Amino acid sequence: MVKLFGLFGKKDASEAVTKEVPYRIMSEFVPYRLYANRKNSVRMFIRVKNLTNEPTLTSVVVEVPKGLSLDDTGITKEKELRLGMLAPGEERQVFADVFGDAGTDKGEYTLSLTAFIHYLDYGHVLNAVRKRAILEVS
Protein backbone atom coordinates (compact mmCIF):
# COMPACT_ATOMS: atom_id res chain seq x y z
CA MET A 1 0.00 0.00 0.00
CA VAL A 2 2.81 2.43 0.84
CA LYS A 3 4.39 1.80 -2.55
CA LEU A 4 1.13 2.61 -4.29
CA PHE A 5 0.83 5.93 -2.47
CA GLY A 6 4.51 6.56 -3.14
CA LEU A 7 3.86 6.41 -6.88
CA PHE A 8 1.40 9.27 -6.66
CA GLY A 9 3.42 11.35 -4.21
CA LYS A 10 1.13 10.63 -1.26
CA LYS A 11 2.03 8.99 2.02
CA ASP A 12 -0.07 6.41 3.82
CA ALA A 13 -1.12 8.02 7.10
CA SER A 14 -3.83 5.48 7.88
CA GLU A 15 -1.58 3.36 10.11
CA ALA A 16 -0.62 6.36 12.24
CA VAL A 17 -4.21 7.49 12.84
CA THR A 18 -5.65 4.03 13.54
CA LYS A 19 -3.16 2.99 16.24
CA GLU A 20 -3.55 5.91 18.64
CA VAL A 21 -6.42 7.90 20.16
CA PRO A 22 -6.99 10.51 17.44
CA TYR A 23 -9.18 13.08 19.22
CA ARG A 24 -10.00 14.65 22.54
CA ILE A 25 -13.70 15.51 22.78
CA MET A 26 -15.02 18.02 25.31
CA SER A 27 -18.63 19.07 25.74
CA GLU A 28 -20.50 21.73 27.69
CA PHE A 29 -24.18 22.63 28.02
CA VAL A 30 -25.43 26.23 28.17
CA PRO A 31 -27.57 26.52 30.25
CA TYR A 32 -26.39 23.44 32.10
CA ARG A 33 -29.83 21.74 32.34
CA LEU A 34 -33.24 21.39 30.73
CA TYR A 35 -36.55 21.86 32.50
CA ALA A 36 -38.82 18.82 32.64
CA ASN A 37 -42.18 18.58 30.90
CA ARG A 38 -41.92 21.80 28.90
CA LYS A 39 -40.68 22.84 25.52
CA ASN A 40 -37.19 24.28 25.99
CA SER A 41 -33.62 23.76 24.78
CA VAL A 42 -29.95 23.91 25.70
CA ARG A 43 -26.98 24.46 23.44
CA MET A 44 -24.29 21.78 23.60
CA PHE A 45 -20.85 23.09 22.68
CA ILE A 46 -18.51 20.37 21.38
CA ARG A 47 -14.75 20.92 21.13
CA VAL A 48 -12.67 18.42 19.17
CA LYS A 49 -8.87 18.46 19.23
CA ASN A 50 -6.74 16.53 16.75
CA LEU A 51 -4.14 14.57 18.78
CA THR A 52 -2.47 12.96 15.74
CA ASN A 53 0.53 14.18 13.75
CA GLU A 54 -1.48 14.20 10.52
CA PRO A 55 -4.22 16.48 9.20
CA THR A 56 -7.56 14.70 9.48
CA LEU A 57 -10.93 15.06 7.78
CA THR A 58 -13.28 15.17 10.77
CA SER A 59 -16.94 14.86 11.60
CA VAL A 60 -18.89 14.48 14.85
CA VAL A 61 -22.15 12.56 15.23
CA VAL A 62 -24.44 13.50 18.13
CA GLU A 63 -27.08 10.99 19.27
CA VAL A 64 -29.77 11.70 21.88
CA PRO A 65 -31.98 9.24 23.81
CA LYS A 66 -35.75 9.00 23.83
CA GLY A 67 -37.31 12.10 25.39
CA LEU A 68 -34.84 14.49 23.76
CA SER A 69 -34.33 15.63 20.18
CA LEU A 70 -31.96 17.69 18.05
CA ASP A 71 -34.68 19.84 16.48
CA ASP A 72 -37.71 21.69 17.77
CA THR A 73 -40.15 19.25 16.12
CA GLY A 74 -38.96 16.40 18.33
CA ILE A 75 -38.11 14.06 15.44
CA THR A 76 -34.32 14.20 14.91
CA LYS A 77 -32.38 11.85 17.22
CA GLU A 78 -29.02 11.91 15.38
CA LYS A 79 -27.06 14.68 13.71
CA GLU A 80 -23.76 14.79 11.83
CA LEU A 81 -21.60 17.91 12.17
CA ARG A 82 -18.81 18.16 9.58
CA LEU A 83 -15.72 19.98 10.82
CA GLY A 84 -13.54 19.70 7.69
CA MET A 85 -9.77 19.29 7.86
CA LEU A 86 -8.16 19.60 11.29
CA ALA A 87 -4.43 20.27 11.34
CA PRO A 88 -2.25 18.40 13.88
CA GLY A 89 -2.99 19.86 17.32
CA GLU A 90 -5.85 22.04 16.03
CA GLU A 91 -9.01 22.37 18.09
CA ARG A 92 -12.38 23.31 16.63
CA GLN A 93 -15.72 24.03 18.30
CA VAL A 94 -19.22 23.31 16.96
CA PHE A 95 -22.61 23.26 18.64
CA ALA A 96 -25.88 21.38 18.57
CA ASP A 97 -29.14 22.44 20.15
CA VAL A 98 -30.82 19.79 22.33
CA PHE A 99 -34.57 20.08 22.81
CA GLY A 100 -36.95 18.79 25.43
CA ASP A 101 -40.75 18.82 25.28
CA ALA A 102 -43.84 17.97 27.33
CA GLY A 103 -42.78 14.29 27.39
CA THR A 104 -39.29 14.92 28.82
CA ASP A 105 -39.23 13.62 32.39
CA LYS A 106 -36.84 14.54 35.21
CA GLY A 107 -33.54 12.67 35.40
CA GLU A 108 -30.18 12.32 33.72
CA TYR A 109 -29.99 11.66 29.98
CA THR A 110 -26.92 10.19 28.32
CA LEU A 111 -25.98 11.65 24.94
CA SER A 112 -23.42 10.01 22.68
CA LEU A 113 -20.73 11.98 20.81
CA THR A 114 -18.64 10.17 18.19
CA ALA A 115 -15.76 11.88 16.36
CA PHE A 116 -14.70 10.23 13.10
CA ILE A 117 -11.51 10.39 11.03
CA HIS A 118 -12.45 10.08 7.37
CA TYR A 119 -10.39 9.01 4.39
CA LEU A 120 -10.74 11.15 1.23
CA ASP A 121 -14.46 11.89 1.79
CA TYR A 122 -17.07 11.62 4.52
CA GLY A 123 -18.17 8.18 3.26
CA HIS A 124 -15.02 6.33 4.40
CA VAL A 125 -14.04 6.01 8.09
CA LEU A 126 -10.52 5.24 9.36
CA ASN A 127 -11.03 5.60 13.11
CA ALA A 128 -13.49 6.93 15.68
CA VAL A 129 -13.64 8.05 19.31
CA ARG A 130 -16.83 7.95 21.37
CA LYS A 131 -17.69 10.02 24.45
CA ARG A 132 -20.80 10.19 26.58
CA ALA A 133 -22.25 13.45 27.88
CA ILE A 134 -24.79 13.63 30.71
CA LEU A 135 -27.59 16.19 30.52
CA GLU A 136 -29.58 16.89 33.67
CA VAL A 137 -33.33 17.51 33.37
CA SER A 138 -35.05 18.94 36.45
Whether the bond into 31 is cis, omega within 30 of 0: yes
Residue 99 lies in a domain: yes
Residue 9 lies in a domain: no
Residue 3 lies in a domain: no
Read off the pLDDT band of 16 (50, 70, 90).
low
Residue 4 lies in a domain: no
pTM attached to this predicted model: 0.85
What is the tally of structural domains in the chain? 1
What is the domain-level CATH number for residue 88? 2.60.40.10
Residue 13 lies in a domain: no
Domain limits at 112? 20-137
Residue 93 lies in a domain: yes
pLDDT one-digit tens code per residue, 42-70: 999 999 999 999 999 999 999 999 999 99
Residue 70 lies in a domain: yes
Task: Tell me the CA distances in angstroms from 84 to 76, 88, 97, 106, 118, one per residue in order.
Answer: 23, 13, 20, 36, 10
For residue 3, what pLDDT is reported? 41
Distance of CA 126 to the CA centre of its chain: 15
For residue 88, what pLDDT is reported? 97
pLDDT one-digit tens code per residue, 124-138: 999 999 999 999 999
For residue 20, what pLDDT is reported? 80
Q: What angle do CA 112, 134, 88 make, to 5 degrees?
A: 55
Distance of CA 95 to the CA centre of its chain: 9
